[in-house]
């Protein structure tokens, strides 16, 4: 799961203009909330245990606490502000290092993050672990040989895929209503195991980002508004001309 | 069809027992929790054999995050926070130390400085703070102290019990989550919890909804002056460097208000070129068309304000009501199972325009009383009533007694008010009689028929502001900068007793002032040919910034604000 | 070996995905700026026809990367086949459209090759000898220029609509098509996909619509929305609305555009009777072309419109529908 700046937070660039100033409010990445919801539903159906993992500074712990309050059983926090600057490949690498020795059957991620929007971490993790994967999943069913998932394709098309376990799935947003954490859940979360992993422990797994944000900026749009005048009929003709030759939709 | 929020009936509610519940995680609530924790820690250190637990002490905060609904100017008198945390300056987030102060009387084009800053407004030794950041910090300490703060949970009802006529407050019911627009359960429905507790402390802020219920039920305002309120509308601006020094404090009175309205502005210089500015308009004006957000926009047009803001950027917007009634408007403060602290009770010094230090002190005193209740096992009025007596023998009384008639003095306008206020300065607050009366603000609202059609001198303040999108803004644009978000699919939490009054009477008599006193565009009269006057009341509840102006100012008093689903509301980062 | 740019076009069940033309356009632009050679590849089984189709456009060469195991699509097979192919051809830059399918395998491919993908780009810049790729971040609030910090091959995917598929250049003659057969061993493919099928989606996904006709308060009454619907139909687009319309129940919530609804960036956004409150604007200001019709000349929507009509939408829209129908009929 990832902690990202709140959707409406006013963002400011830092001094070197290659990242944002972190004095904003944060929240859980919404697609990851759907991944968690699906995991909790699978646990309710088939039993088992749900673990949640995140990387980031101390503030990211909030995401784990909320997940534990909703019903996750344990959490892993790769705690260090240095984790924020890692690209998708390095992030997947440290996750893989942190979960070495674990015996997960399924790993869920949201389909992308609301801040970077790369949509890569889950797929990269699958490759690093050597596991099969599928993306943009709407539904998961247990089968004799593993699982059957429903993949969303563009333009209203879908596809079922049979896969063995263990596997990595990126979950489509909006497939379920997100549950609320209850007061009891919040109280119980305090006593659930939260393992902290320091940067030093997973450092060997990373070797520098393979891509670099040169600069971050507010996209400038220079709009020259052209007012179309004339009678209704004339304006209609002018509009169609624009639609055909400028917007290229006719 | 408007469907209003109501706790669902006939459903089983999960229970969770508690020792103390503090409803509201603002300055008063957090100070109360922290003080209680300190007392318990000290006690436990000296009583290894009989320990008191903090396990079942809870703060309920309706916002998604601590401090998110906290808004104020703000200037902090450090007296009480220093009592609570002696070296708080080392760790508390402080924007600036007050360095310079000035009070101006404004006319449309000029400003006249008061040669001497009136004593109540002298701020030497005070701090400019962001209440949001300050409460966040306090909240961290409360959590670190082992007291659970439940964010995203509102207190929606008080639970009564005990003797035959339910004289005791037994607990708090939290909000039902996952209820749709038609009050039906959604698939992720979670019923509110019934939290039974020994002591319930209401720290809901100005015009608290549970506080209102409690006062009504037990007539806690008998023999008191009715509470009166001001509406504060605030904008946070980032301005070019050098425009205003950190710690520079400016108060204004006069323009754009006339001598008939009570109110004024504040401008505080913070750090990093951030300016906090806002206008407070007392919710007792006569013309129902007056729009407090519009008043702020008008104020910014004054040459000295627009010069300050030129080239700057508005960063955040918000609004909140505040209680002006003072000492004579405080309700009964403690009874069987309950106490009321902070702005919910009305601990605000309207002459100094400061209430945070009093909220903190009241929270601390309530904590001391709650501690006694925990030790003795008795939380009846016999024990909790002690809170009232503690307040009366504390410096809260000393301070508020001196200004007990301040706001009431302005009932007949600015000039008589200033005269009385001056007199009160020399008579220890007495003025011409020990207790000046007050009337609820809405009773001052005149019908349109009694007012000049063009609005007279108040004309520039009437109706929604249009804004020039650079210095001044229309309400929707301002609202966008409040970060307000709610779960959309839920019943309306502005409970209107009888919408026929809106559609048939109010529209003619007062011109639907809800569209004006609400700073968030929640209320709208939309076209509807089936209605007698062609219009019908429509609500945008998810715009609500939880200021309570509607509950206060509605001339028919048919609007009751109840908390929406927890987690929703404005996001007053930095406010 | 000359430096090459490889465009991997996408095919689904024997049909070329038209968005691939946009990637070819991007490739052509990059090729002319860098002087590198442009090549293309199509991956699948029995896809020589598609390869020829791609070859009709200006490119040095087109490869048909073949294996019976590449149909149906699986990430295992595609990543395996392309890894082999790319290792042998060693292009400097590999471009793909950011489709659901590409998202499904290209991060795996890049990772298997020890490389990285800069995905969902909206453009590129050449700064001296360096190429940087522009992508949106924080849901379009900020843009980032990203560069590679590793050796080629460099993987880039482009956002739908970032380049003009209709502007793709035709070459003097068709490019040469070369078939490359790939051996995919047993055990490589672990997923077993079933038939693709269509389902009526419960909620409309306006983010996928290329043309949106949106109505605001100016539409006055629910029955007038029919007018907007006709216009949307004539244009082949979707209907949407600002918040008050959905709040009144005149259109379902999933048609709402704005801070409490959906954020869209279609090719065309036609705003009818929408004033342009900031809450609405943040949901559509990324649209390529914005046309606004409003009676009020001071409506804020005009600040972000490309083409503005100050007038009564009930006068303008009917003749507009006629003209659109006429234009589409004549083609």
- Domains identified in chain A, total number: 2
Q: Look at A25 and B190 and tell me if their CB atoms are within 8 Å.
A: no
Any A CB within 8 A of C233 CB: no
What is the arithmetic mean of pLDDT over B96-108?
94
Asked if the structure places residue C31 within a domain, the reply is yes
Any A CB within 8 A of C289 CB: yes
Q: Look at C253 and B488 and tell me if their CB atoms are within 8 Å.
A: yes
pLDDT band at B101 (very low <50, low <70, confident <90, very high): very high
Residue A154, domain CATH:
3.40.50.620
Same domain, C269 and C148: no
Alpha-carbon torsion B116, B119, B124, B127, what sign? negative
- pLDDT at res. C140: 75
Same domain, C213 and C317: yes
pLDDT band at B257 (very low <50, low <70, confident <90, very high): very high
Q: Look at B477 and C259 and tell me if their CB atoms are within 8 Å.
A: no
Nearest to A212 among C147, C285, C324 (CB): C147
What is the arithmetic mean of pLDDT over B340-353?
96
Asked if the structure places residue A80 within a domain, the reply is yes
**C8, C41 in Cβ contact below 8 A?**
yes
Nearest to C247 among B469, B476, B540 (CB): B540
Same domain, C59 and C167: yes
Residue A225: which domain range?
220-250
Please tell me which residue, C293 or B413, carries the higher pLDDT value: C293
Rounded Cα–Cα distance for residues B296 and B231 (Å):
11
Any C CB within 8 A of B535 CB: no
- pLDDT at res. C210: 87
Same domain, A178 and A233: no
Q: What torsion, rounded to 10 degrees, do the Cα atoms C195, C201, C207, C213 define?
A: 130
- pLDDT at res. C202: 63
Same domain, C324 and C287: yes
Same domain, C165 and C214: no
Asked if the structure places residue A93 within a domain, the reply is yes
Mutate which of B193, B483, B565, B570 to test chain A, going by most A C-beta atoms within 10 A?
A: B483
Rounded Cα–Cα distance for residues A91 and C273 (Å):
47
Same domain, A89 and A59: yes
Of the residues C147, C181, C215, the one at which a domain ends: C181
- DSSP secondary structure letter of residue B26: S
Asked if the structure places residue A212 within a domain, the reply is no
Asked if the structure places residue A211 within a domain, the reply is no
Asked if the structure places residue A18 within a domain, the reply is yes
Q: Look at C260 and B469 and tell me if their CB atoms are within 8 Å.
A: no
Any C CB within 8 A of B459 CB: no
**A195, A154 in Cβ contact below 8 A?**
no
Same domain, A156 and A249: no
Same domain, A15 and A138: yes
Token pair of B408, please? Answer: 């009431």
Rounded Cα–Cα distance for residues A29 and A121 (Å):
13
Asked if the structure places residue C249 within a domain, the reply is yes
Q: Look at C278 and B542 and tell me if their CB atoms are within 8 Å.
A: no
Rounded Cα–Cα distance for residues B534 and B555 (Å):
21
What is the arithmetic mean of pLDDT over A163-188?
94
Task: Kindly report the backbone phi and psi dihedral angles of residue C308, in degrees, each rounded to the nearest multiple of 5, phi listed first.
Answer: -120, 140
Which residue of chain C is at minimal alpha-carbon distance from A8?
Answer: C259
- pLDDT at res. C203: 67
**B121, B251 in Cβ contact below 8 A?**
yes
- pLDDT at res. C266: 87
Query: Which regions of chain C are under pLDDT 50?
Result: none
- pLDDT at res. C201: 64
Interface of B with A (CB under 8 A): 14, 16, 64-65, 68, 148, 150, 152-153, 174, 177-178, 186-188, 190, 193, 195, 315-316, 483, 485, 571, 573
What is the arithmetic mean of pLDDT over B311-331?
96
Q: What is the distance in angstroms between the CA of the first residue and the CA of the last residue of chain C?
A: 45
> Which residues 63-82 of A have a C-beta within 8 angstroms of C?
none
Same domain, A104 and A49: yes
Rounded Cα–Cα distance for residues B135 and C260 (Å):
28
Rounded Cα–Cα distance for residues B6 and B410 (Å):
39
Q: Is B15-73+135-220+331-402 CATH 3.30.420.40?
A: no
Asked if the structure places residue C21 within a domain, the reply is yes
Instruction: Give the minimum alpha-carbon distance from B521 to chain C in angstroms, rounded to a whole number.
Output: 12
Nearest to A177 among B152, B186, B485 (CB): B186
pLDDT tens string B469-487: 899 999 999 999 999 999 9
Domain boundaries, given as residue ranges, for chain B: 15-73+135-220+331-402, 96-130+228-322, 407-435, 451-561
pLDDT band at B445 (very low <50, low <70, confident <90, very high): very high
pLDDT tens string B215-241: 999 999 999 999 999 999 999 999 999
With 0.80 as the threshold, say if the pTM is over it.
Answer: yes
Would you say residue B184 has pLDDT above 90? yes
Residue C210: which domain range?
206-330
- pLDDT at res. A155: 74
Which residue of chain C is at minimal alpha-carbon distance from A162?
Answer: C192
Q: Is B96-130+228-322 CATH 3.30.9.90?
A: yes
Q: Look at C320 and A124 and tell me if their CB atoms are within 8 Å.
A: no
Asked if the structure places residue A82 within a domain, the reply is yes
Rounded Cα–Cα distance for residues C213 and C291 (Å):
10
Q: How many CB pairs under 8 A join B and C?
A: 21
Same domain, C214 and C298: yes
Q: What percent of chain A has pLDDT over 90?
A: 76
Any C CB within 8 A of A161 CB: yes
Please tell me which residue, C160 or B45, carries the higher pLDDT value: B45
What is the arithmetic mean of pLDDT over B256-267?
95
Same domain, A133 and A227: no
Q: Look at A182 and B315 and tell me if their CB atoms are within 8 Å.
A: no
Site of tokens 């919040």: A186
Would you say residue B348 has pLDDT above 90? yes
Which residues in chain C are closer than 8 Å to A243, comparing Cβ atoms?
Answer: 235, 268, 324, 327
Q: What torsion, rounded to 10 degrees, do the Cα atoms A65, A70, A75, A81 define?
A: -40
Same domain, C143 and C72: yes
**A169, A110 in Cβ contact below 8 A?**
no
Helix/strand/coil percentages in chain A, nearest 5: 35, 25, 40
Q: Could you give the ipTM of this predicted complex?
A: 0.91
pLDDT tens string A130-173: 999 999 999 999 999 999 999 998 877 899 999 999 999 999 99
Rounded Cα–Cα distance for residues B210 and C80 (Å):
64
Residue C132, domain CATH:
3.40.50.620
Q: Look at A180 and B571 and tell me if their CB atoms are within 8 Å.
A: no
Would you say residue A245 has pLDDT above 90? no
Which residues in chain A are closer than 8 Å to B483, comparing Cβ atoms?
Answer: 6, 8-9
B534-539 long-range Cβ contacts below 8 angstroms, 24+ apart: B535/B503, B535/B507, B536/B499, B536/B502, B536/B503, B537/B2, B537/B496, B537/B499, B537/B502, B537/B503, B537/B512, B538/B2, B538/C247, B538/C248, B539/B2, B539/B492, B539/B494
Same domain, C12 and C137: yes
Asked if the structure places residue C196 within a domain, the reply is no
Any C CB within 8 A of A249 CB: yes
Q: Look at B16 and A10 and tell me if their CB atoms are within 8 Å.
A: no
Residue C225, domain CATH:
3.40.50.1220
Q: Look at A117 and C136 and tell me if their CB atoms are within 8 Å.
A: yes
Give partners of A (≥3 CB pairs < 8 A): B, C
Of the residues C146, C181, C216, the one at which a domain ends: C181
pLDDT band at A25 (very low <50, low <70, confident <90, very high): confident
What is the arithmetic mean of pLDDT over A114-132?
94
Nearest to B177 among A6, A27, A180 (CB): A180
pLDDT band at A249 (very low <50, low <70, confident <90, very high): confident
Q: Look at A182 and B65 and tell me if their CB atoms are within 8 Å.
A: no
Asked if the structure places residue C193 within a domain, the reply is no
Q: Look at C260 and B542 and tell me if their CB atoms are within 8 Å.
A: yes
Rounded Cα–Cα distance for residues A163 and B293 (Å):
59
**B230, B266 in Cβ contact below 8 A?**
no
Same domain, C26 and C128: yes
- CATH pick for B451-561 out of 3.40.50.10490, 3.30.70.20, 3.40.710.10, 3.50.50.60: 3.30.70.20
Asked if the structure places residue A127 within a domain, the reply is yes
């Amino acid at each position: 799961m990832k902690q990202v700046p709140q959707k409406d937070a006013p963002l400011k660039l830092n001094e070197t203009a290659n990242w944002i100033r972190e004095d904003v409010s944060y929240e859980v990445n919404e697609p990851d909330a759907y991944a968690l919801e699906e995991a909790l539903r699978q646990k309710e159906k088939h039993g088992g245990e749900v673990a949640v993992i995140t990387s980031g500074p101390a503030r990211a712990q909030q995401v784990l606490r909320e997940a534990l309050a909703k019903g996750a059983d344990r959490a892993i926090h790769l705690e260090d502000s240095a984790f924020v600057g890692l690209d998708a490949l390095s992030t997947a690498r440290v996750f893989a290092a942190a979960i070495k020795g674990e015996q997960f059957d399924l790993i869920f991620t949201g389909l992308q993050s609301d801040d970077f929007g790369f949509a890569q971490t889950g797929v990269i993790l699958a490759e690093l672990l050597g596991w099969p994967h599928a993306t943009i999943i709407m539904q998961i069913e247990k089968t004799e040989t593993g699982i059957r998932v429903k993949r969303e394709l563009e333009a209203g098309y879908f596809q079922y895929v049979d896969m063995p376990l263990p596997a990595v799935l990126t979950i489509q947003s909006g497939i379920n209503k997100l549950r609320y954490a209850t007061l009891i859940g919040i109280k119980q979360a305090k006593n659930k195991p939260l393992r902290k992993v320091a940067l030093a422990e997973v450092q060997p797994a990373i070797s520098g980002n393979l891509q670099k944000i040169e600069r971050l900026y507010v996209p400038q749009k220079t709009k020259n508004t052209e007012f179309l005048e004339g009678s209704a009929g004339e304006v209609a003709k002018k509009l169609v001309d624009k639609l055909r030759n400028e917007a290229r939709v006719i | 069809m408007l469907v209003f929020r109501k706790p669902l009936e006939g459903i089983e509610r999960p229970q969770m027992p508690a020792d103390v519940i503090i409803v509201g995680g603002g300055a008063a609530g957090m100070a109360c929790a922290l003080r209680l924790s300190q007392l318990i820690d000290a006690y436990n250190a000296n009583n290894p054999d009989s320990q008191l637990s903090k396990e079942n002490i809870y703060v309920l905060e309706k916002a998604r995050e601590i401090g998110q609904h906290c808004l104020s100017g703000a200037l902090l008198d450090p007296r009480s926070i220093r009592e609570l945390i002696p070296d708080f300056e080392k760790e508390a987030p402080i924007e600036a130390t007050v360095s310079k102060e000035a009070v101006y009387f404004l006319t449309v084009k000029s400003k006249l400085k008061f040669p001497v800053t009136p004593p109540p407004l002298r701020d030497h030794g005070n701090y400019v703070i962001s209440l949001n950041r300050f409460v966040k910090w306090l909240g961290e300490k409360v959590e670190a102290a082992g007291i659970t703060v439940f964010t995203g949970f509102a207190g929606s009802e008080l639970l009564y019990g005990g003797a035959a006529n339910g004289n005791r407050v037994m607990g708090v019911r939290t909000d039902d989550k996952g209820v749709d627009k038609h009050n039906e359960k959604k698939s992720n429905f979670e019923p509110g919890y019934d939290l039974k507790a020994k002591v319930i402390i209401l720290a809901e802020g100005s015009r608290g909804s549970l506080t209102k219920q409690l006062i009504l039920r037990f007539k806690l305002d008998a023999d008191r002056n009715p509470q009166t309120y001001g509406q504060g509308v605030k904008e946070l601006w980032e301005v070019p460097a050098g425009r205003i020094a950190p710690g520079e404090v400016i108060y204004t009175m006069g323009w754009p208000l006339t001598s008939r309205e009570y109110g004024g502005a504040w401008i505080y210089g913070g750090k990093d070129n951030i300016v906090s500015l806002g206008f407070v308009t007392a919710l007792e004006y006569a013309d129902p068309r007056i729009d407090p957000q519009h008043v702020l926009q008008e104020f910014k047009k004054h040459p000295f304000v627009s010069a300050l803001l030129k080239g700057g950027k508005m960063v955040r917007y918000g609004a909140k009501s505040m209680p002006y009634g003072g000492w004579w408007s405080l309700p009964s403060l403690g009874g069987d199972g309950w106490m009321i602290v902070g702005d919910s009770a009305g601990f605000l010094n309207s002459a100094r325009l400061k209430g945070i230090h009093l909220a903190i002190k009241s929270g601390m005193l309530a904590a001391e009383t709650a501690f006694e209740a925990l030790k003795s096992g008795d939380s009846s009025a016999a024990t909790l009533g002690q809170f009232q007596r503690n307040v009366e023998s504390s410096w809260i009384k000393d301070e508020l007694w001196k200004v007990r008639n301040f706001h009431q003095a302005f009932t007949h306008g600015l000039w008589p008010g200033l005269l009385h206020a001056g007199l009160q300065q020399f008579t220890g607050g007495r003025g011409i009689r020990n207790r000046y009366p007050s009337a609820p603000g809405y009773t001052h609202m005149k019908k349109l028929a009694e007012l000049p059609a063009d609005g007279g001198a108040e004309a520039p303040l009437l109706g929604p502001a249009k804004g020039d999108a650079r210095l001044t803004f229309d309400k929707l644009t301002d609202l966008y900068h409040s970060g307000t978000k709610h779960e959309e699919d839920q019943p309306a939490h502005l409970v209107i007793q009888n919408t026929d009054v809106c559609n048939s009477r109010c529209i003619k008599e007062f011109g639907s002032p809800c569209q004006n006193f609400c700073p968030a565009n929640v209320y709208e009269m939309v076209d509807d040919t089936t209605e007698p006057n062609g219009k019908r009341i429509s609500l945008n509840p998810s715009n609500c910034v939880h200021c309570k102006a509607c509950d206060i100012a509605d001339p028919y008093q048919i609007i009751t604000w109840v908390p929406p689903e927890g987690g929703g509301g404005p996001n007053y980062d930095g406010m | 070996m000359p430096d090459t740019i490889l465009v991997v076009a996408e095919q689904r069940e024997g049909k070329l995905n038209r968005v691939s033309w946009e990637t070819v356009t991007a490739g052509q632009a990059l090729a002319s700026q860098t002087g590198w050679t442009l090549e293309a590849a199509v991956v699948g089984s029995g896809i020589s026809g598609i390869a020829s189709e791609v070859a009709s456009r200006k490119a040095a060469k087109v490869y048909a990367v073949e294996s019976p195991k590449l149909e149906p699509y699986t990430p295992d097979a595609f990543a395996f086949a392309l890894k082999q192919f790319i290792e042998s051809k060693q292009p400097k830059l590999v471009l793909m459209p950011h489709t659901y399918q590409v998202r499904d395998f290209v991060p795996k491919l890049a990772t298997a090759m020890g490389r990285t993908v800069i995905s969902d780009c909206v453009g590129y810049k050449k700064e001296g000898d360096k190429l940087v790729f522009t992508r949106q971040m924080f849901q379009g609030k900020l843009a980032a220029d990203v560069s590679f910090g590793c050796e080629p091959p460099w993987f880039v995917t482009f956002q739908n609509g970032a380049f003009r598929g209709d502007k793709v250049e035709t070459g003097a003659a068709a490019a040469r098509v070369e078939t490359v057969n790939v051996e995919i061993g047993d055990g490589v493919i672990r997923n077993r996909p079933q038939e693709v099928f269509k389902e009526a989606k419960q909620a409309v996904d306006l983010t996928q619509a290329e043309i949106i006709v949106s109505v605001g308060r100016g539409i006055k009454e629910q029955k007038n929305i029919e007018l907007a619907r006709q216009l949307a139909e004539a244009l082949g687009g979707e209907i949407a609305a600002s918040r008050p319309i959905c709040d009144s129940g005149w259109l379902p919530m999933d048609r709402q555009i704005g801070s409490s609804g959906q954020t869209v960036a279609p090719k065309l956004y036609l705003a009818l009777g929408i004033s342009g409150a900031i809450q609405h604007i943040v949901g559509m200001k990324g649209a390529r072309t914005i046309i606004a019709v409003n009676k009020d000349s001071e409506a804020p929507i005009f600040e972000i419109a490309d083409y503005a009509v100050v007038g009564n939408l009930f006068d303008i829209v009917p003749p507009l529908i006629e003209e659109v129908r006429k234009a589409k009929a004549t083609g």
